[in-house]
Amino acid sequence: MIGILYSSQVPRAKPLTHEISQWLTSRNVDSWVSRVKDMASKCELVARSSLIVVLGGDGTTLTAAREVAPFNVPVFGVNLGRVGFLSEVTPEAWQSKLERVLDGDYWLERRLMLKGEVWRDGAQISNLSALNDIVVSRGEHVRVVRFHLFVDADHVTTYTADGLIASTPTGSTAYSMAAGGPLLPPQLKNFLIIPVAPHLSFERPVVLHQEAVVKIQVEMVHRALATADGQDEVHLQSGDEVLISKHQNEGLFARVDGQSYFYHRLMQRLSFWSRKQ
């Protein structure tokens, strides 16, 4: 069984969803359809599925990949967004590549995910999970925050900055790249700490091994935010701590291009986007 998830905010997603569903039916493959925002109620169907086809942009794919990760079901992304770093295929070429997946001519790419725990006064108040990044930032207030960074219980440094980004290799092409971080191929299991607009502070990105445990303690006179993949957020108070480590789940993607696809696709996407500016 194959699930088809689509973004209701993209007009052409629903018609293409219907087209793919009919195509699967013609090949005697059972399928089910849902909007991405409704997929939390589809856990039983996800668990019974061998593949999840996602139609939308990178935000849609991020949401879907996080939700299906506990079920160890791969995602096959059809890019209907602007960039599509995570997607496997364009709307014009979905049929030939999905045919290869059905024939077993594909490989599984496993991507590091992060988990975050927000602690206040010795009690955990929230959980976060991310495929791209967990960001601790000043939020809407135009004032810097002091971020005390600990790695494996050792104090490393204190930043005075707009924020700190804890990024996976997947997220290295997102906010991390915009903040000056390095680009990491998805095969790596390291994650990054990148300061955002540091003031008189250590400004270089730090690369950590996958088993590292990071603690970020915030100090400010106003509220700050912890966000996961730019979608889920928790309001922070001065003294709160955000613990970040490797998630027990991985983002799983079905790929038909060669395993060195990342560099070619990265340059292709960046070149396309620069021409659009």
Q: Which residues are catalytic?
A: 58
The letter for the amino acid at 240 is D
Contact 216, 239 (CB under 8 A): no
Residue 10 to residue 3: CA distance in whole angstroms: 18
Pull the structure tokens for residue 107. 């490989």
| Full DSSP string of 74-124 | -EEEEE-SS--SS-SB-TTSHHHHHHHHHTT--EEEEEEEEEEEEEETTEE
3-state class (DSSP) for residue 249: strand
Residue 164 to residue 122: CA distance in whole angstroms: 22
Pull the structure tokens for residue 155. 């104090």
Query: Beta-carbon neighbour count of residue 170 at 10 Å?
Result: 27
Put residue 42 in one of left, alpha, beta given phi > 0 → left and psi -120 to 50 → alpha. Answer: alpha
Beta-carbon-side half-sphere exposure of residue 251 (alpha carbons within 13 Å): 29
Query: Beta-carbon neighbour count of residue 158 at 10 Å?
Result: 14
Of 272, 274, 227, 277, residue with least CA distance to 79? 272
Of 108, 104, 167, 158, residue with least CA distance to 135? 167
Contact 215, 237 (CB under 8 A): no
